[in-house]
C-alpha cells in the first residue's frame, strides 16, 4: 500500500473525511433586517446575507419581498448551499 492509500484508510477509520462543500443544511435566524437589496432580492440579518426566490414563503403579514424593510424584526428559516443562504420562510418576530 502506498502513502495515499494509508492516509485514506486512516481517515476513513478515524472518521475524518471532509463533508462536501456543496452539502445542503437548514437553519433559522432571528434579528432585525439591517439592509435590503431589491436588485439582488436579498437582505441582511445578523450580518448574514439571505437570498430570496419564487419559493420563498412570506408569513405573519409579509406577502412579498417588497414588504421587507430595514429595522423589521424577522425570523428566517433558510437553507445553505455552497456558502449561500436561501430564505425558505420569512415571518415577523415579536
| Structural domains of the chain, count | 1
- How many CA atoms lie within 13 Å of 82's alpha carbon, on the beta-carbon side? 1
CA distance 90 to 64: 10
User: Which structural domain range is residue 42 located in?
Assistant: 21-92
Give me the CATH number covering residue 41: 2.40.50.320
pLDDT of residue 18: 41
* Nearest alpha carbon to residue 74 among 86, 91, 62: 91
Q: Indicate whether 47 belongs to any domain.
A: yes
> What end-to-end distance do the CA atoms of the chain give, in Å?
61
Q: Indicate whether 13 belongs to any domain.
A: no
Q: Indicate whether 72 belongs to any domain.
A: yes
Q: Indicate whether 9 belongs to any domain.
A: no
Residue 8 reports pLDDT greater than 90: no
19-62 confidence digits (pLDDT tens)? 333 344 569 999 999 999 999 999 999 999 999 999 999 999 99
50-65 confidence digits (pLDDT tens)? 999 999 999 999 999 9
CA distance 94 to 91: 10
Amino acid at each position: 500500500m502506498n502513502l495515499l492509500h494509508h492516509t485514506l484508510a486512516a481517515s476513513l477509520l478515524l472518521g475524518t473525511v471532509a463533508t462536501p462543500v456543496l452539502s445542503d443544511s437548514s437553519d433559522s435566524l432571528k434579528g432585525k433586517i439591517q439592509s435590503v437589496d431589491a436588485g439582488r432580492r436579498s437582505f441582511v440579518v445578523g450580518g448574514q446575507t439571505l437570498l430570496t426566490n419564487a419559493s420563498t414563503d412570506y408569513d405573519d403579514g409579509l406577502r412579498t419581498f417588497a414588504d421587507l424593510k430595514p429595522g423589521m424584526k424577522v425570523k428566517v428559516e433558510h437553507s445553505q448551499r455552497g456558502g449561500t443562504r436561501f430564505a425558505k420562510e420569512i415571518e415577523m418576530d415579536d
